[in-house]
Structure 1
Amino acid sequence: MKELVEVIAKALVDNPDEVVVTESEKEEEIVIELKVAPTDMGKVIGKQGRIAKAIRSVVKAASSKMDKKVIVEIQ
């Protein structure tokens, strides 16, 4: 999942070198933290959060065969 979020984020931003994705796993959930440059934050979130919602939807679909909940946090 980490690689998927990283590829999507790097395609959206102007500074792909500043994209940092970390993944932490707990008992029943996986938390993916996406950090981008402050100037690219708007591009990752999108108008009314549409791009962020789309990223979460893609990750949810990709993780549907896993028995864990995947949470994407954008910082």
Structure 2
Amino acid sequence: MSITQQYLLDTYRARQHGDPTPPAPGTNDWQAMRELADHRRFRAGLTRRQARGRIRAMLTRLLGQHRGAPRRTDAH
């Protein structure tokens, strides 16, 4: 059963029972993603880790080790 079919079935059942209709699929996706990001920042704060830019900081550390090596240049 697809998401659309399930939504239509839930809407039909809600109307039969006089309940409010459920939100359409995808309506609250961005809100859920924001709440997940807020929760992750909160958890990072509890463990005293850096809340933002952890992946960028890790990549900077890893790639920063290679900065001393000479870079290749293409001859035109």
Same fold (TM over 0.5): no
TM-score range, shorter chain: under 0.3
Larger radius of gyration: 2
| Structure with a larger share of its residues in helix | 2
Q: Name the structure with the higher strand share.
A: 1
The two structures have a TM-score, normalised by structure 1, of 0.26
Q: Relative contact order, CA 8 A, sep 6+: which one is greater?
A: 1
TM-score by length of 2: 0.26
